[in-house]
Amino acid sequence: MRHQGTIARIMLTAALCAFSAGAQAFDDAQYPDLRGQWTRVDGPGSAGGEPSFDPSKPPGRGQQAPLTPEYQAIFEANLREQEAGVPGIWPGRTCLPPGLPAQMAAYRPLEFVVLPDVTYVRVDYVRETRRRIFTDGRAWPEEVEDGFDGYSIGKWKDEDGDGKYDVLEVETRHFKGPRNFDLSGIPLHEDNETVIKERIFLDKADRNILHDEMTVMDHALTRPWTVMKTYRRSADARPQWEEYLCVWESKTVRIGDETYLLDKEGFLRPTKTGQAPPSVQYFPATK
Amino acid sequence: MPCPRLIAATAVASGLLLLVGNANAFDQSRYPDWTGAWRRIPVPGVAGQPGYDQTKRLGPAQQAPLTPEAEAVMKTSMEDQAKGGQGNYPTYICLSPGMPRIMTPYGAMEFVITPDTTHVFIEHVHDSRRIYTDGRDWPKDLKLTLQGYSIGKWLDTDSDGRFDTL
């Protein structure tokens, strides 16, 4: 039986070699496969139009946003302006990024890049966005530069105990504005103290379906607002990623704090009654 | 002498277990460590905005080997800029500078390496890139972009078992 010791040593050496070789290896198998191109699944309320914050409900007032009376009044005023043909307060029309939570509506396809320390979410809409969700165990930094995407810290969880991660829990803070919930202009509070919690996970029955359960806490709301966003993976293993160049697609012009419409003939038009024109003092006088 | 065979079999089995165990692993140690935020290094004595050749000043000092037609375009652009205009400089209306200018880079640059794609994230206008390293060929149908379509290949030029050049 003297060879048992030799065999044990070989096994131990192999194990140590495995540990050494794998010390810097990123075991993809431990994480869900989120590769590919993800497109939003429109809910029954979207009616094929632009997506709303809650995909399960109709846009605008149909969202039944739990707004405070003050912010409901702001929203109603914005809706009345839109009904009168004014572009509304959606920041994307003047090429400001939508930020969170709106960007997770997936106005354009999403890409997830999962690495041990960071999960990146790429979205090319208005502004080409690289959302970073830090999963390296960091605490909230004492000083953070506020951003439209905020600052996201995530944690992978193995909820079904099979030894593999299945849920990415994310909390996002440190925002700047202006931001809205969606294109209809449902407002977030101007203090930008929004806190957003998300649970991102693959559908157990269909691994080409991804869910993002999102809860927004904001001082414009009377209670946390939770919705479920769903995305479908493209069957194309090598999809094209189209470029979104806002300045080519935008039909509005922002000058200072004012927004003007640019019509087909190239003329600036007012976006609200009584709006003053931009100054032309540096242009030669024209008849 | 059955034991040497047993020992050899054990070693082979251990090796196979190692192989199977790492079948799905993305071995980051095979790739160079390009993590972090990268910024261009200003060249001493070269003042002003960075040029395509960062060792030389902007404009004629670049000594760009332009065709006469392109040389005329540049001359017109520089004359316009000298009068306070923008010349043929689309970035002032927030269009991406596109390739090759985005690699100047104007903002901090982050490399995110995965086996299939190396992402280059640049915080400036609209400058990020995907460099596909999955062995694909050039696609037949492609929508053109300012960044272009990039295919890359990792090389181990010093044969130490690790990639060092993309």
Quick one: A80 and A124 in the same domain?
Answer: yes
Kindly tell me if the per-residue pLDDT of A48 is higher than 70.
no
- Out of A197-206, A250-259, A272-281, B20-29, the most confident range is A197-206
Average pLDDT over residues A142-147: 94
CA-based nearest distance A220→chain B, Å? 30
pLDDT of residue A14: 45
Residues A115 and A190 occupy one common structural domain? yes
pLDDT of A217 strictly over 70: yes
Residue numbers of A between 94 and 133 with CB closer than 8 Å to B: 95, 113, 115, 118, 120, 122, 127-128, 130
| Size of chain B, expressed as the number of residues it contains | 166
B24: nearest CB among A27, A240, A243: A27
Least confident of A29-33, A174-178, B43-47, B86-90: B86-90
What pLDDT shows up at residue A286?
Answer: 61
Q: Which residues contact B40 (CB under 8 A, 6 or more apart)?
A: B50, B54, B104, B105
pLDDT at position A86: 72
A204 in the same domain as A285: no
* pLDDT higher at A280 or A71: A71
User: Would you state the pLDDT for residue B15?
Assistant: 42
> What integer pLDDT is reported at residue B21 of this predicted model?
40
Whether the Cβ atoms of residue A50 and residue A106 lie closer than 8 Å to each other: no
Distances (CA, A) of A51 to A74, A181, B103: 21, 10, 35
Structural domain of A132: 38-233
Q: Once rounded to an integer, what is the mean pLDDT over residues A138-154?
A: 96
pLDDT in tens, A3-20: 555 554 544 444 444 444
Percent of chain A with pLDDT over 90: 57
Please judge whether B126 and A128 are an interchain contact, meaning their C-beta atoms are less than 8 angstroms apart: yes
> pLDDT tens-digit profile of A58-100?
989 999 999 999 999 999 998 988 887 776 777 777 788 889 9
At B27 the pLDDT is: 87
- Does A262 lie at the interface with B, CB-CB under 8 angstroms? no
Whether A22 and B25 lie within 8 Å, measured CB to CB: yes
| Contact criterion met (CB < 8 Å) for A11 and B28 | no
pLDDT at B3: 52
Both A42 and A163 in one domain: the answer is yes
- Specify whether A275 is located in the same domain as A195: no
Residue A16 belongs to some domain of the structure = no
Q: Which amino acid is at A5?
A: G
Q: What is the DSSP string of A141-203?
A: PSS---BSS-EEEEEEE-TT-SSS--EEEEEEE-B-S--BSSTT-PBPPTT---EEEEEEEE-
**Structure confidence at residue A258 as a pLDDT band (50, 70, 90):** confident
pLDDT tens for chain B, 166 residues long, are 445 555 555 544 444 444 334 445 788 889 999 999 999 998 988 888 889 999 999 889 999 999 999 999 999 999 998 988 888 887 877 888 899 999 999 889 999 999 999 999 998 888 899 999 999 999 998 889 999 999 999 999 999 999 999 9
A195 and A283 inside one domain = no
- Has residue A23 been placed in a domain? no
The domain tally of chain A equals: 2
For position B137, what pLDDT does the model report?
Answer: 95
Q: Which residue is it, tokens 């919930």?
A: A181
Q: Specify whether A144 is located in the same domain as A266.
A: no
Please report the pLDDT score of residue A199 as a whole number.
98
Q: Are A227 and A45 in contact (CB under 8 A)?
A: no
Clarify whether residues A167 and A280 are in a common domain. no
Residue A46 has pLDDT above 70, yes or no: no
Contacts of B124 in chain A (CB under 8 A): none
The full set of domain ranges for chain B reads 96-166
Of A185, A152, A179, A175, the closest CA to residue A98 belongs to A179
> Is A130 in the same domain as A177?
yes
Question: Which residue of B lies nearest to A26 if distances are taken between CA atoms?
Answer: B26
Together in a domain, A266 and A176: no
Is residue A27 assigned to a domain? Answer: no
- Average of pLDDT values for A278-284? 83
Question: Is the whole-model pTM more than 0.90?
Answer: no
- Mean model confidence pLDDT for chain A: 86
